[in-house]
Amino acid sequence: AKNVGILALDIYFPPTCVQQEALEVHDRVSKGKYIVGLGQDCMAFCTEVEDVISMSLTVVTSLLEKYNIDPKQIGRLEVGSETVIDKSKSIKTFLMQIFEKCGNTDIEGVDSTNACYGGTAALFNCVNWVESSSWDGRYGIVVCTDSAVYAEGPARPTGGAAAIAMLIGPDAPIAFESKFRGSHMSHAYDFYKPNLASEYPVVDGKLSQTCYLMALDSCYKRFCDKYEKLEGKQFCITDADNIVFHSPYNKLVQKSFARLVYIDFLRNARSIDEAAKEKLAPYSTLTGDESYQNKDLEKVSQQVAKPLYIAKVERTTHLPKQVGNMYTASLYAAFASLLYSMECELAGKRVVMFSYGSGLTATMFSFKIHEGQHPFSLSNIVNVLNLDGKLDARHEFSPEKFIETMKLMEHRYGAKDFVTSKDCSRLAPGTYYLTEVDSMYRRFYAQK
């Protein structure tokens, strides 16, 4: 199989959201702390009728319908998620309900978990399957589904929720450049979920930022090395038409891109002009550790990077700013934003992706974009995504109502024997929702 990659994709996020500006007032923090300090505009969240299973049922059903794919044509289904609902039964098995009723139970794959990286692991598994000798000619589907919620405090405004489904196969408009991959994996306690009675993570916010940037450096250098070995020339950021980052919050994406500019400066790459070199020169002898903590370097490199950030990154930030951190789905939601804003202009371009999951696992990889053929064409993908339509149809909750919802969800997490209010008036037709968890913890869903 050639040009294996993403043939089609769809995204679902809850229609319920809270404005960051309203949260700033409610949380009595200084004005601009969430909007400018974190760079976030709005945050989606699940109410009691939605969860990672309902969202993934919704998005997979929608993907199959909108691209007119017979469920029998699916041979592999992989899920990436870090939202634990069951410690044994995979989310994938819930999704089998869609395929069983069409008589297809011959579908490989289960769930992959490591913080926000599970979706990328699932994607690599699926692509590897299509490229392998065990491939049977059918499509794969990768689902990234997460509900990111934090305890009260500075991390709470960095929540979000969404599910993405991607159809995988050969001759894809979004094709992997499989040879260029750089990974960095190590042991860290930056963000983890050791308390199985709570949905909330334990998070060392500052450490997680540093871990993210260190992993970025390491992946980028390895990516460059591999490129240089294979292509016989240096790789630098101007060789990427666009760069998409995992987006816990927008400020970190701005810092990450600036970091790549700084690394290119240290590598004496051609992407850095004389004026930029002069500005960055005072920071050329910092040790790695010093450079992660140096606020002046952060400021100067962001300033130097600004024009390139606008050209290569800004268009990827639309959904992550509006929906928040979607954990496994964040990187692919950022990519969907790019597709949505560039459509066919993206054909022929190289898009570099950076995936990060705390704990920690990270990979930088790249796509080569082609125009594709209907229904797997860039223009049809953009039609199906309908991001503006989905964003416009949202309902804003007040911070008080958001907090009330979080309290109810805390109570419901890991609970049994309850029925939901079944208030699905805000949900679009076709959306799945949770109706009941019975005395055996079995979960039941209905479709609106």
Closest to ligand ACO by CB, 33 vs 448, is 33
What is the per-residue binding string for ligand ACO in 208-247, x denoting contact by CB under 6 A?
xx--x-----------------------------------
Place of tokens 């950021």: 237
What does the longest C-alpha to C-alpha distance in the chain come to? 68
Rounded to the nearest whole angstrom, what is the least distance from the CB of residue 226 to ligand ACO in the complex? 25
What is the per-residue binding string for ligand ACO in 407-436, x denoting contact by CB under 6 A?
------------------------------
246 is known as an active-site residue: yes
Among residues 12, 67, 117, 191, the one that binds ligand ACO under rule CB under 6 A: 191
Answer whether 82's CB lies under 8 Å from 115's CB. Answer: yes
Closest to ligand ACO by CB, 52 vs 60, is 52
> Alpha helix (H) ranges present in 287-375?
288-293, 295-312, 318-323, 330-342
116 is known as an active-site residue: yes
Site for ligand ACO in 388-407 (CB under 6 A): none
Position of minimal CB gap to ligand ACO = 37
Rounded to the nearest whole angstrom, what is the least distance from the CB of residue 173 to ligand ACO in the complex? 28
CA distance 76 to 15: 29
What is the per-residue binding string for ligand ACO in 326-365, x denoting contact by CB under 6 A?
--------------------------------x-------
Among residues 1, 21, 26, 36, the one that binds ligand ACO under rule CB under 6 A: 36
Among residues 26, 33, 221, 306, the one that binds ligand ACO under rule CB under 6 A: 33
Rounded to the nearest whole angstrom, what is the least distance from the CB of residue 64 to ligand ACO in the complex? 30
CA distance 3 to 172: 6
Rounded to the nearest whole angstrom, what is the least distance from the CB of residue 6 to ligand ACO in the complex? 22
Tell me the CB-side half-sphere exposure of residue 37, using CA atoms within 13 A. 13
CA distance 301 to 306: 8
Q: Among residues 116, 126, 219, 224, which one is catalytic?
A: 116
Q: Among residues 50, 78, 82, 298, which one is catalytic?
A: 82
CA distance 268 to 107: 49
What is the per-residue binding string for ligand ACO in 82-121, x denoting contact by CB under 6 A?
----------------------------------x-----
Q: Which residues carry a binding-site annotation for CoA? A: 208, 251, 255
Closest C-alpha to 328, from 168, 46, 27, 122: 122
Tell me the CB-side half-sphere exposure of residue 267, using CA atoms within 13 A. 20
Closest to ligand ACO by CB, 119 vs 248, is 248
Q: Among residues 184, 246, 318, 370, which one is catalytic?
A: 246
Closest to ligand ACO by CB, 253 vs 434, is 253
Residues 6+ apart with CB under 8 A from 271: 236, 237, 238, 261, 264, 308
Q: How many CB atoms lie within 10 A of CB 377?
A: 19
Q: Which residues carry a binding-site annotation? A: 208, 251, 255
Closest to ligand ACO by CB, 32 vs 282, is 32
46 is known as an active-site residue: no
CA distance 86 to 97: 17
CA distance 295 to 206: 13
Binding-site size, ligand ACO (CB under 6 A): 22
Answer whether 47's CB lies under 8 Å from 136's CB. Answer: no
Instruction: Work out whether 32 is an interface residue with ligand ACO (CB under 6 A).
Output: yes
Q: 243 pairs with which residues across the strands? A: 352
Please give the torsion angle defined by the CA atoms of residues 68, 72, 76 and 82, in that order, rounded to the nearest 10 degrees. 60
What is the per-residue binding string for ligand ACO in 150-189, x denoting contact by CB under 6 A?
----xx--x-------------------------------
Place of tokens 């002009």: 273
Q: Is the dihedral of CA 324, 190, 56, 374 positive or negative?
A: positive
Q: Which residues are catalytic?
A: 82, 116, 246
Q: Which residues bind ligand ACO (CB under 6 A)?
A: 30-33, 36-37, 116, 154-155, 158, 191, 203, 205-206, 208-209, 212, 248-249, 251-252, 358
